[in-house]
Amino acid sequence: MADQTNAQSFSNAIWPELKAHSDGLQTPLKELFAQDPNRVEHFSMSAGSLYLDYSKNHLDAKALELLATQAKQSGLEDAIKALIGGEHVNNTENRPALHTALRCPAISPADKTAVVAATQAQMREFVDKLSSGQWHGYNGKPITDVVNIGIGGSDLGPRMVVTALSQFQQSAVKVHFVANIDGADLSDALAGLHADTTLFVVASKSFSTLETRENALAARAWSLSHGCPESDLGKHYVAVSSNVPAAMEFGIDEANIFPMWDWVGGRYSLWSAIGLPIAIALGMDNFDALLAGAANMDEHFASAPIEQNMPATLALIAFWYSATRGYQSQAILPYAQRMSRLPAYLQQLDMESLGKSVDRNGKPLTCDSGLVLWGTEGTNGQHSFHQLLHQGTRSVLVDFIASGKPMSPLDSHHSYLLANCIGQSQALLAGKSLAQAKQELLDAGKPEAEADQIAPHKVIPGNRPSNTLIIEQLDPTNLGALIALYEHKVYCLGVLWGLNPFDQWGVELGKQLGSAVYPALTGNECPAEWDGSTRNLVEKLRLK
Ligand SMILES: O=P(O)(O)OC[C@H]1O[C@](O)(CO)[C@@H](O)[C@@H]1O
């Protein structure tokens, strides 16, 4: 892979022109639509069953052309090939990032096909046994509940997909998730479960993560104290890990360890055996459909020119607002209750990937990198933080996500849902002027003086950008494509900013210090060299 650096990105020949064009492009969105009633035709695209309307952005044809040139001069076309071809795009850990090989053999390195297929076959066999009641617990009863113990990438993806696709639940086996080291998480999950019919999936790529280790040990103790003989633990514990010796040392039968590989990053791993809870809940065929949807997006990403490439377009829009207009924040607003976990999932995907301060060569970045990403499901957010989106002083880039088909038999609810989704992007664009606000008050019978006093509070600036993504319906294939879309968008942003989106060294220091604080908190001594605040907190929180 061409080792593009951030410094190079901003010394691309096109960069000064791109920045100048953005600075000069001050036409309000409303006017852009007035100038070109067919604007949406030029600023929208489809990829499979996903449709993206990005017309409500401060972009014109020239801006798109300059952005595409910026992408090309940053080496994006080669970088896409490098990713999919298995080059060591994760340069600080000297390995590829081949999540595409888990779902799109057609364009992936041939040497990965066999191992991926074998693992999928192992998953299918296991899932079939579980769902047909042929996997028995220690006293011969079939398994009724599966608890996935994992955190970060070993939790967020499977949890999000199982929640989003609950309508596609195939199995009578119920899937639960435990992630937090707060014992309440495990206790709450275990309440009401029976040790003889509960199976635990210990999901940890490294098999060394504190939360997962402690939760798995506590679960094991629960199994034993609720009647499971030690010799039968193998019937209740399986693992997904790239660290087979550690999983075996924990006591899991080698035959019940599903492999992972270092070429799959944690936050890109739901397509691997880390997706086992998805396959258990929805069935292996639906899991395959999820993979197929992602594969469709991979093929689009690999083959569409930058100008028609949906992940690249989303990335270029974020780059435009961040690099040329100083935006700091992006809201993800899925108008689908069951996609409520999507923002949390994308937070890890995006912020753990792009929250970096140095470029691929370790040189300080010359601009801001990852945006602060947040959000919740619509319409709930409208009665919460949308106030800031409409009237706050900060600029936020917004992605609305809507499903064309209802996800319940209540059709009119779906129309209200979509009407709100569209209405919100319309409000962000159009806003409300002082004159309109005053007129509304006068029409409501308020005296002139009161109208003058209140009107400024009702002004909505408008001219605020948004993307709207439409999926035909919320099903495994389309969700797979949507997730892959965001994965590839993140990759493109990494290339545009010249950073490595596949490492996450930043999380290590907190982990190390947490481990050092533990003995101080559970013992009597606090190292004298620690700062006063830390020592004080340890004293205050030490269990008496
Ligand atoms: O699957 P593991 O190795 O337990 O890691 C869990 C998570 O921890 C992290 O390494 C960082 O906290 C994530 O990147 C990862 O998804």
Mutate to test the pocket of ligand 1, among 504, 512, 513 (most ligand atoms within 8 A of CB): 504
Interval between CA 529 and ligand 1 midpoint (Å): 30
> Which residue from 360, 385, 383 is spatially nearest to 375, judged by alpha carbons?
385
d(CA 187, CA 8): 52
Q: Best of 99, 148, 149, 154 to mutate for ligand 1, by most ligand atoms within 8 A of CB?
A: 154
Listed in sequence order, the residues at least 6 apart from 81 whose beta carbon sits closer than 8 Å to its beta carbon are 302
What value does the mean pLDDT take over residues 208-221?
A: 97
Rg value, the chain, Cα: 25
Residue 205 Cβ inside 6 Å of ligand 1? The answer reads: yes
Pairwise CA distance, residues 519 & 516, whole Å: 6
Task: Answer whether 504 contacts ligand 1 (Cβ < 6 A).
Answer: yes
Q: Is the CB of 204 under 6 A from ligand 1?
A: yes
Confidence of residue 2 (pLDDT cuts 50, 70, 90): very low
Amino acid identity of 96? P
Question: Which protein residue's CA is at the shortest distance from atom 8 of ligand 1?
Answer: 152
Q: Is the CB of 236 under 6 A from ligand 1?
A: no
Ligand 1: distance of its center to the CA of 307 in Å?
35
Residue 383 is a catalytic residue: yes
Mean pLDDT, range 441-466, rounded to an integer: 98
State if residue 152 touches ligand 1 by the CB under 6 angstroms criterion: yes
Ligand 1 pocket check for 507: Cβ under 6 Å: yes
Residue nearest to atom 11 of ligand 1 (CA): 507
Q: Whose CA is nearest to atom 9 of ligand 1?
A: 152
Centre of ligand 1 from the C-alpha of residue 15, in Å: 36
Residue-wise pLDDT for 326-357, tens only, equals 999 999 999 999 999 999 999 999 999 999 99
Separation CA 219–CA 147 (nearest Å): 10
Catalytic residue among 383, 457, 540, 544: 383
Cβ 209 under 6 angstroms from ligand 1: yes
Give the chain's length: 544
ipTM summary value: 0.98
- Closest ligand 1 atom number to CA of residue 153: 16
Residue 9 above 70 pLDDT? no
Q: Which atom of ligand 1 is nearest to the CA of 511?
A: 12
Residue 246 has pLDDT above 90, yes or no: yes
Strands 257-259, 44-47: pairing kind: unpaired
What tens digit of pLDDT does each residue of 131-158 get? 999 999 999 999 999 999 999 999 999 9
Is residue 171 very low, low, confident or very high in pLDDT (cuts 50, 70, 90)? confident
Q: Which atom of ligand 1 is closest in space to residue 266's alpha carbon?
A: 16
The three-state secondary structure class of 241 is: strand
Per residue in 19-45, pLDDT (tens digit) is: 999 999 999 999 999 999 999 999 999
Q: Which residue has its alpha carbon closest to ligand 1 atom 14?
A: 266
* Tokens, residue 318: 């974020």
Instruction: Determine if ligand 1 sits within 6 Å of the CB of residue 272.
Output: no
Q: Has 352 been annotated as catalytic? A: yes
Mean pLDDT over 93-99 rounds to 98
What average pLDDT is seen over the chain?
A: 96
Instruction: Count Cα neighbours of 164 within 13 Å in the Cβ-side half-sphere.
Output: 33
pTM assigned to the model: 0.97
The pLDDT of residue 7 is: 54
